[in-house]
Amino acid sequence: MDIAFALYPGMTLLDMTGPHEVLAHVPGVDCHYIAARTGPLACDTGFQVTATAAFADVPRPDVIVVPGSGEFARVLEDETELVDWLAAAHPSATWTTSVCTGSTLLAKAGILTGRAATTHWGARDLLGELGAEVSTDRVVVDGDVITAAGVSAGIDMGLTLAARLWGEETARAIQLFIEYAPEPPFTPVGAEDAGPEMVEALDRILSGA
């Protein structure tokens, strides 16, 4: 089984490595790390990853995984080669998936038109403008497309995908293997519960103010 992880400058590392850790250990899986061109590229935190193949080298993967980015507005404008590859590769893929704002790239490729999909809470309006039926769920399955909400939801997406590829027993075994049993130090807060003060504090932290 060929799983293509689409890489691009400014992507969010955990969006890729979360589902990768879930999927890559299963026998028979071949992971491909593809981008517009091979070589190193910097994530949105500066961490570097390496693309080992170009989009043209992997035209028909079985599974597509598209990470998001904290720079998603710029990425939508810049990553035209990725969008074109998604539009071409999706029809033959068994599953097309995204994490966080990666769903906006799927939407720009025309894959989410009229489909239910989720994304990071900060990109919901944009996702709707691009033609998707926006959901606030953590993971959304619509036909042969699976989308996940922000960053850490990529692990949930990977397990959801694993259950559909190999059955629930295998997915549960993978969950045990990666010891995925979240106990966050603070009460989980969604965008609907955060309140304007927390959102403003987040903006200040991210802007360095």
Pairing of strands 145-148, 139-142: antiparallel
* Centroid of chain to Cα 23: 13
Half-sphere exposure of 100 (CA within 13 A, CB side): 21
Whole-angstrom Cα distance, residue 151 to residue 69?
A: 9
Q: Give the pair of three-digit tokens for residue 98.
A: 């995204």
39: left (phi over 0), alpha (psi -120 to 50) or beta: left
**Residue pair 184/47 in contact by the 8 Å Cβ criterion:** no
Q: Of 11, 65, 66, 100, which residue is the catalytic one?
A: 100
Helix axes 153-166, 13-23, angle to 10 degrees: 30
Say whether 169 sits in a helix, a strand or coil: helix
Respond yes or no: is residue 100 known to be catalytic. yes
Which residues are marked as active site? Answer: 100
